[in-house]
Chain A
Amino acid sequence: MFNIFDKRYLFFGISGVLILSGLIVLFITGLPLSIDFTGGSLLEVRFTTDELPQTTEVIGVYNDLNITDVRVQTTTDRTLVIRSPFLDDDTRANLIEAMEGHFNGEVILLRYESVGPAIGREVTTRAAGAVAISSLVITLYIVLAFRSIPHAFRYGVCAIAAMLHDVGIVLCLIAFGGLLAGWQFDALMLTALLTVIGFSVNDSIVVFDRIRENRNLYRRLDYAKLVKHSIIQTLQRSINTQLMTVQFLLLSLVLFGGATLRGFALVLLVGLFSGTYSTLFIATPLLVVWENQEWRNWLRGKTTDSPA
């Protein structure tokens, strides 16, 4: 197996670059929040007219009814997604009528969502709460489950570091998705994010569990060797589970499932993959770095070679 540990700073670096670029994009464009969080209305309509109406014309119809701040997006050749401030049911009915009259053809309402601003705010607070509580509870659980090993706290922290790494990767994906493909961060995306949080720790636990077992068996073994050994033992399982099963299922969902779930499945795909990656390349190397207290060497400008 390739020497993960010797190149661990390289992998830290790769991840760092990815996450940083994602954060920069987010910082500039802001997280593309959907109406679930901001409030407002969304109309997805399919036109049966010969030509798809121009977006400016559609915005004009809205403006005639005194609705401003309208954004239109073309999804397929016949379908438009129109976002606007909150519309009540009567206004929506009027809008459909107006559009049918204006464009001389039937307008099929595929989907309609209207969220009041107060609800939007509450959803946002709850979402932040959900992320915070998840992280906290999971950390506590790890510390509890691994309390028999010396320095149990470290395992919790490293697992959380890996989890934060995965959150960073997911946010990076969403940022670029928003930039390039018009993705919106809605309640479903949040669900994907929370799922990634829950699962990222899964792989870490399996490896930590093996470390715990080996620790009891080989008490004299050098720590880095022990960790490396544990990884190799669990590697086959990680690959099989991740790549061969879960990822395949998700991949087929991305490719063959409908458009509604595509973004969701893609986030899960990347996020769960990152979960395994972070266990191998972030969490466990961090454990070794911590144990060997390598930061003392950073200041001195050299790195310790891991024992072969």
Chain B
Amino acid sequence: MFRRYRISFVIILVFVAALIWINLPDNPGIRIGEFERSLETQLGLDLRGGMQVLLEVDLPPETAVEARALQDARQILENRSNALGVSEVLFQVAGTRRIVGEFPGLSEIEEVIDALKETGQLEFVDMGDTPLPEGTVIETDLGRTVSEQVEPSEEDEPILWHTVMTGASLTSVGVTRDELGAYVIQFELDDEGSAIFAEHTTQNVGKYLAIVLDKRIISVPRIETGITEGSGIITGNFTLESSNALAVQLRYGSLPIPLTIVESRVIGPTLGEESLQKSILAGLIGLTVVSLFMILYYRLPGFVAVLAIGIFALITLALYKLIPITLTLPGVAGFMLSTGIALDANILIFERIREELRSGRSLHHALELGWKRAWPSIRDSNITSLITGGILFWFGSAFGATLVKGFAVTLFLGILISMFTAIVVTKSLMYTIIDLFGITYKPGLFGLK
């Protein structure tokens, strides 16, 4: 009767071997044809240290934001970050108006953040005969404009200046130094831009052309001759960092929507490391005590349960690496809680088995009944926990609250896996061991008098 579980047992053994391999600390990763996966555990910000920023669309709440625009903005932010030398960065859309940015390992990045969230809208504006000073904020006729009167303008009514061309026409952007050693931005234009530029400059020799970034004038050169080669330079009071930042903004395009920072968090790396080590220690201590109890109280089934929990841990950790799931500190707590639930399922089954054994059923019968009768309890009680996990996930996802999400995900996953191991793995292990060792029913073996 127990024989047919031999096959499951072998499958489980193979499975476990694979799992152990996946979980090895310095695993180089999987490469199957085109499918590539690095098998490192992803640690959340609270364990690694780093910065998390929540950006929100800076438009009035009634204005609808297209999902497309948010996705484009996300991509642009990512491009800019990479170009600025930030090695690891993750941007994700959260809800309908927000983007979460995570910068592991960084804590002093004011300049990077500034470069990132600036819209980066470059305009070439016809100033005619009146050059306004650098730093003035102006209104242009480009689409919808939002102007701030940072410095009071001389006229009573704000003048609407005409935009000749925008940064969208730039094909390449670079930073060099001019003859005086100052940093300048060199750019080249596409065909359409070259034509517009050529036309405007030849017709307006002697007039001023302002270069405006996000409605603020950076420089106002005078047009000396017509420029037909389709290239030019932008001068201004640039440092190496600021010219680099501007070049990056121009290179990847302006953000389709304005963004502002509504929440930011920084965790220093020391705190994260301490917490992780302590939690792992706590987990191991707890698990050892619990395993001892299980073996002492339930004897043979207890031993089987400990094995099953070991497999449960292997499966869960392997899944964290494979999916991958970012592990946070609450996530570790969620994992431990789900370990408790895994044990609970086993305990439900064992108590049932003991009851049946006490009322005189044969070993085989008691085992079958144990699993059969305990299943409704396991299923029903775990479903409520799954519901809670789902709601927690929903709660955290609108703000990119990775801590809450981390807990919800590990709990949810842990419960699912625990149901699987309690029903399938424990059963196979138990039956196989009984079969292999020819165990017959002895009360002591099952923790009964």
- Contact, CB under 8 Å: B392 / A130: yes
Given known A138-B384, A253-B279, A258-B278, contact A114–B286 (CB-CB < 8 A): no
Is B355 an interface residue when CB atoms closer than 8 A count as contact? yes
Is B79 an interface residue when CB atoms closer than 8 A count as contact? no
Nearest A-chain residue to B107, judged by Cβ: A109
C-alpha gap A119/B408 in the complex (Å) = 21
What's the nearest-Cβ distance from chain B to residue A46, in Å? 8
Is B289 an interface residue when CB atoms closer than 8 A count as contact? yes
* B262 proximity list for chain A (CB < 8 A): 115-116, 118-119
- Contact, CB under 8 Å: A188 / B330: yes
- Contact, CB under 8 Å: B275 / A109: no
* A188 proximity list for chain B (CB < 8 A): 330, 403-404
Taking a contact as CB atoms closer than 8 A, the residue among B267, B287, B330 that contacts A191 in the complex is B330
C-alpha gap A199/B407 in the complex (Å) = 15
- Contact, CB under 8 Å: A249 / B290: yes
What's the nearest-Cβ distance from chain B to residue A128, in Å? 10
Q: Which residues from 390 to 446 on chain B have a C-beta closer than 8 Å to any C-beta of chain A?
A: 391-392, 394-396, 398-399, 401, 403-404, 407-408, 411
- Contact, CB under 8 Å: A141 / B384: yes
- Contact, CB under 8 Å: A258 / B389: no
- The digit string for B246-281, where 1 denotes a CB below 8 A from any CB of A, is 000000000000000111111110110011101101
* B343 proximity list for chain A (CB < 8 A): 241, 245-246
Is A127 an interface residue when CB atoms closer than 8 A count as contact? yes
- Contact, CB under 8 Å: A209 / B377: yes
Question: Which size bracket describes the interface of A in this complex?
Answer: 35 or more
- Contact, CB under 8 Å: B286 / A249: yes
- Contact, CB under 8 Å: B271 / A249: no
* B289 proximity list for chain A (CB < 8 A): 248, 252
- Contact, CB under 8 Å: B113 / A233: no
- Contact, CB under 8 Å: B404 / A187: yes
What's the nearest-Cβ distance from chain A to residue B448, in Å? 12
What's the nearest-Cβ distance from chain A to residue B100, in Å? 12
- The digit string for A140-158, where 1 denotes a CB below 8 A from any CB of B, is 0100010000000000000
- Contact, CB under 8 Å: B377 / A206: yes
What's the nearest-Cβ distance from chain A to residue B130, in Å? 33
* A236 proximity list for chain B (CB < 8 A): 351
Give the segment of B34-42, B226-234, B314-322, B334-342 that binds chain A: B334-342
Given known A249-B336, A249-B339, A264-B333, contact A241–B384 (CB-CB < 8 A): no
- Contact, CB under 8 Å: A206 / B381: yes
Nearest B-chain residue to A240, judged by Cβ: B347
Taking a contact as CB atoms closer than 8 A, the residue among B108, B113, B348, B399 that contacts A206 in the complex is B348
- Contact, CB under 8 Å: A134 / B388: yes
- Contact, CB under 8 Å: A257 / B263: no
C-alpha gap A127/B382 in the complex (Å) = 22
* A138 proximity list for chain B (CB < 8 A): 384, 387-388
C-alpha gap A269/B206 in the complex (Å) = 78
Given known A112-B264, A205-B381, contact A130–B329 (CB-CB < 8 A): no
- The digit string for A250-273, where 1 denotes a CB below 8 A from any CB of B, is 111101111111001100100000
Nearest B-chain residue to A114, judged by Cβ: B264
Is B110 an interface residue when CB atoms closer than 8 A count as contact? yes
- Contact, CB under 8 Å: B274 / A198: no
- Contact, CB under 8 Å: A249 / B330: no
Is A93 an interface residue when CB atoms closer than 8 A count as contact? yes
- Contact, CB under 8 Å: A89 / B113: yes
Is A137 an interface residue when CB atoms closer than 8 A count as contact? yes
* B392 proximity list for chain A (CB < 8 A): 130, 191, 194-195
What's the nearest-Cβ distance from chain A to residue B264, in Å? 5
Nearest A-chain residue to B61, judged by Cβ: A118
* A257 proximity list for chain B (CB < 8 A): 275, 278-279, 281-282
Is B169 an interface residue when CB atoms closer than 8 A count as contact? no
* B344 proximity list for chain A (CB < 8 A): 241, 245-246
Taking a contact as CB atoms closer than 8 A, the residue among A130, A141, A251, A253 that contacts B391 in the complex is A130
* B355 proximity list for chain A (CB < 8 A): 233
C-alpha gap A114/B267 in the complex (Å) = 12
Is A88 an interface residue when CB atoms closer than 8 A count as contact? yes
* A280 proximity list for chain B (CB < 8 A): none
- Enumerate the 10 nearest inter-chain pairs by beta-carbon distance, A residue then B residue, closest first: A198-B388, A252-B286, A246-B340, A258-B275, A256-B282, A116-B262, A112-B266, A249-B286, A258-B278, A202-B381
Interface residues of B (CB under 8 A from A): 46, 54, 56, 107-108, 110, 113, 261-268, 270-271, 274-276, 278-279, 281-283, 285-287, 289-290, 293-294, 297, 329-330, 332-333, 336-337, 339-341, 343-344, 347-348, 351, 355, 373, 376-377, 380-385, 387-389, 391-392, 394-396, 398-399, 401, 403-404, 407-408, 411
* Besides A198-B384, A246-B341, 13 other A-B contacts (C-beta < 8 A): A109-B268, A127-B395, A194-B388, A199-B384, A246-B344, A249-B283, A250-B337, A257-B275, A257-B278, A257-B282, A258-B275, A258-B276, A264-B330
Task: Give 18 pairs: A residue, B residue, CB < 8 Å, sorted on A.
Answer: A113-B264, A119-B399, A137-B387, A190-B404, A191-B392, A191-B404, A194-B388, A199-B388, A201-B381, A206-B377, A245-B343, A246-B340, A248-B289, A249-B337, A250-B286, A252-B282, A257-B282, A261-B333
